Structure 1
Amino acid sequence: MKEIGANGQVDYVEFNVSDIPRAKKFYGEVFDWLFTDYGPTYTEFSDGRINGGFTTTEAITTAGGPLVIFYAKNLVETQKKLQAAGAEIVKPIFAFPGGERLHFKDPEGYILGVWTET
């Protein structure tokens, strides 16, 4: 059973998608996420730290929300995996205080980030 987090802590992230198998393939290949299917319109994912879901029951809204940023030990290798899986790099690797980051567009059109420490 998943331990419940502290009050105010991010606990779940949900993506509206048009194609759950495609989303599972993309995020499974790039980030090694694990999945639990709950019928044809919902799949839960786990990255080992946080859970979330893919659903086809709502409209896809790729702009206007917060930027979700993933962590990677090797940003260059992760960029290669992203590109091999069909992501578009929309902001190449750049430095910021404490690390480096890139932004990419996933197959649904969501703009997301990946960072690593330096």
Structure 2
Amino acid sequence: MYNGVSFFEISTDNPIAAERFYGELFGWTFTDGHGDPYSVIRTPKTDGLLGGLWDNRADKAENWAIVCIEVADVEEACAKAVAAGGKVYSPPMETVGVENGPIFAHLLDPSGNHIAVYSRRDQPES
């Protein structure tokens, strides 16, 4: 179903500390790699959201935690965001190293809050 929060991401310059913090606080587990450059986060709830932990040191990016909303068309969502008073923070991009992986874009709402939108290419339109 589109337009629902279905993923989250955390960008950090200290992935080992972030894994320890979220693991101890919430019981989250992480795929091997300590965010190098990306680890999948699993929450304890059986049908809970998946997340991603990104090691941002190589890109010298900011630290952030965001929700990701699945949409039917990322470019269309970007255009609608701008029309509604938001900004495109990071334009649509393919997932690196994943054949037919999701397409992501990062947006800022009118107050400057950071969110992401994505669409999966492997899912039929509903």
- With the length of structure 1 as denominator, give the TM-score of the two structures: 0.45
